[in-house]
Amino acid sequence: MRGMVVAIEENMNNNDGRLDVYTAGPHKINNFVAEFINRSETMFKQNGIKARFNRVRKAQVVEGFDTYEFDHVLSFNSKEDQKLFDVLLDKAENNKIKSSYYKY
């Protein structure tokens, strides 16, 4: 959860009152992200931010990476799936987009 908070805080001043969160992870990660957004909704509203959660397929994000206008890319991986999303992190780095990698 800390990774998401850091990414949001880093980009809070650069937003247009909108937070779009895309998750391409396995079921466990998608549920985690949805729960975080739901529980944080009051805080977002207090700061004038409209949060939106979107589930997408990994292939969809890889193919259309440039169309998403990402401010930050987070990768959460279990010990069994280390660096599962290397391709997304590489694309973020190549496009000079902040990225973070976390293991759980």
Q: How confident is the model at residue 95 (pLDDT cuts 50, 70, 90)?
A: very high
Q: Does pLDDT of 104 surpass 80? A: no
> What is the residue-averaged pLDDT of the chain?
81
3-state class (DSSP) for residue 66: helix
Tokens representing 8 are 């949001």
One-letter-per-residue 3-state SS of 90-104 = HHHHHCCCEEEEEEC
What helix, strand, coil percent values describe the chain, rounded to 5? 45, 25, 30
Cα separations in angstroms, 78 against 13, 16, 25, 81, 84 = 31, 33, 11, 5, 9
- Give me the residue spans of the domains in the chain: 2-103
Cα separations in angstroms, 84 against 8, 70, 76 = 22, 19, 9
Q: How confident is the model at residue 81 (pLDDT cuts 50, 70, 90)?
A: low
- Is 3.40.630 the CATH classification of the domain at 2-103? no
Q: Report the C-alpha gap between 64 and 104 in whole angstroms.
A: 27
- Give residue-wise pLDDT tens across range 41-67: 888 888 888 888 899 998 898 899 999
Percent of the chain with pLDDT over 90: 9
- Give the mean model confidence (pLDDT) for residues 97-103: 82
Q: Report the C-alpha gap between 5 and 96 in whole angstroms.
A: 20
pLDDT at 69: 86
pLDDT at 82: 56
